[in-house]
Structure 1
Amino acid sequence: MFNKVIKPAGRFRLDNIEKLRKELYRNHDVVDLFDLKNNENYRRTISSIAKTSLSTPKFSAFLHRLIEYLNVETVLETGTSLGINALYLAGPERVNKVVTIEASPIIASFATEQFSKLLQQKIEIKQGTIQEVFEQILVKLQPELCFMDADHRSDAVDFCIESIMSHCASIKCIVVHDIYWSKDMHQSWNRIVKDERFSLTVDIFQAGLIFPFIQMPKQHFTLHF
């Protein structure tokens, strides 16, 4: 995987998506948002959201290459944000469907506009919280890869993983973003690594990879990304 996924991600880019990323960095339009965790309204520019919420181009490219490597056709993403990763997830020719979940209706609407700019019809955005919509979408879609990048709390991560293991026998890989985001997230990742159900786990620092149904002696790897 290192030579076919991680190493090539350093130089692989989708130019049309990277052009859009730069446009988002320069977009100073203000949007009114609502913080579900703190139950309060706040305002931010698209530029500030892009600079703090978007993955690096290298990580977006990693997601694209991972999907190609695993021959994935269906993808479920939690945490759409401005839509850059969803566009990379939908990029491989073999992919026929990406469903991405976003809690904020304003951000979901904005991301939909970005998808339309690139005529990306493979992507369907669902507005709602993880607790509200994740399990229902999971059962219907039966994704082969799930990219978790929404609620960075261990109880949300645990909920998603348990739902996947209960309802999705087709899953090839679960990608948990920001495993070093907080002490809580890191502890959650350490529990995953020790979980005997997961024969293969990989730590690339920006994310943790879980391969749930590989038949092999339990192994864990840390790779430089």
Structure 2
Amino acid sequence: MYSRLQIARKYIRYYLTAKNGRGHGVHSPFVYDFIRNVLNDRRRPAVWDRIELLRAQLLKDETWLEVEDMGAGSSVAKGRQRQVREIARHAAKPAKLGQLLFRIARYYQRERVVELGTSLGLSTAYLGSGAASVWTIEGASAIAAVAARNFQDLGLGGVELVVGNFDELLDGVLDRAGSVDLAFIDGNHRLEPTLRYFHALMERCAPGAILIFDDIHWSEEMEEAWGKIQRDPRVYMTIDLFFIGLVVFREEFKVKQHFSIRF
């Protein structure tokens, strides 16, 4: 993975070269609409406050968990013994990203969402509050147990949590989902697994599906994976928000377009 200094330099370069976050100069109708009505939607649903209250509680939770790590994905807090508050601080997605996931799920009326990498369930909570049904996979059973309690406390009846190795469980989850119209891939930040998940999801994508990849600039491997995804002949539209990358499938896309948007 890149050092903090390397990531900071990459972010500065991204910020200086990306299209502005207001939509000026963007000629794709889909991307312009995405910027105006998703990225810049300033409404704040009440459920966000409940999720952020849960985050505040998790950040104070000193409970120790025995954690098995199944993939590259944490640059901090190594080892099997980890406190809930450390996981909440270093592994949980920030509110800004979680709320974007909610807006994407809600605006595009997603029905079947798959998430790889539940962690404590904060990103899942945002997805589950904006979409009809979510299937989420978490590799660490102790962390999954905390997430399950969080889903119950938030009343998220549309979330199905599956515990175990992504490679062993993904096909079964996709079978149960039937087809996928939104996926969030976060949990194994390596080249080969990321591409494997991409290809598996591609086989089950519904028309208009959106695949979201986390930490596309986290390491050389992740940047290589993102580049390969962009070059895939089935991919015509990608949006780089630096921290995440979106792959959008729509029938009207006939020419490859890759956008970098300030977020």
> Among residues 83, 94, 101, which one is paired with 2:137 in the alignment?
101
8 Å CA contact 2:115–2:186 kept in 1: the answer is: yes
Aligned to 2:137, what secondary structure does the other structure show? strand
Give distance in 2, aligned partners of 1:164 and 1:31: 31
Structure 2 residue 225 is matched with structure 1 residue 188: yes
1:76 is matched with 114
Matches within 5 A, 1:1-225: 1-8=34-41, 12=44, 14-36=48-70, 42-92=80-130, 95-141=131-177, 142-170=179-207, 172-216=209-253, 217-225=255-263
Q: Number of residues paired by the alignment?
A: 221
CA drift of 1:185 comes to: 0.3
After superposition, the C-alpha distances for 1:100-154 in whole angstroms (9 at most, x for unaligned) are 0001111111100111111111111001111100122112202210100111111
CA drift of 1:213 comes to: 4.0
After superposition, the C-alpha distances for 1:11-70 in whole angstroms (9 at most, x for unaligned) are 7461000000000011111111123359x9620110000000011101000000011221
Q: TM-score, normalised by structure 2?
A: 0.79
Give distance in 2, aligned partners of 1:17 and 1:125: 17
1:165 to 1:215, Cα distance in 2 relative to 1, 3 A = same
Ranges in structure 2 where 5+ consecutive residues have no aligned partner:
1-33, 73-77
Aligned sequence identity (%): 30
8 Å CA contact 1:180–1:205 kept in 2: the answer is: yes
Q: TM-score, normalised by structure 1?
A: 0.92
1:36 to 1:74, Cα distance in 2 relative to 1, 3 A = closer
Give distance in 2, aligned partners of 1:187 and 1:4: 30
Whose radius of gyration is greater, 1 or 2?
A: 2
Letter in 2 for 1:184: E
8 Å CA contact 1:138–1:168 kept in 2: the answer is: no
The alignment yields a C-alpha RMSD, in angstroms, of 1.8
Letter in 1 for 2:125: L
1:37 to 1:124, Cα distance in 2 relative to 1, 3 A = closer
8 Å CA contact 1:199–1:215 kept in 2: the answer is: no
Letter in 2 for 1:4: N
8 Å CA contact 1:198–1:213 kept in 2: the answer is: no
After superposition, the C-alpha distances for 1:182-215 in whole angstroms (9 at most, x for unaligned) are 1100111011112221111110001010013443
8 Å CA contact 2:135–2:160 kept in 1: the answer is: yes
8 Å CA contact 1:147–1:175 kept in 2: the answer is: yes
CA drift of 1:170 comes to: 4.5
1:137 to 1:218, Cα distance in 2 relative to 1, 3 A = same
8 Å CA contact 1:67–1:89 kept in 2: the answer is: yes
Give distance in 2, aligned partners of 1:37 and 1:87: 22
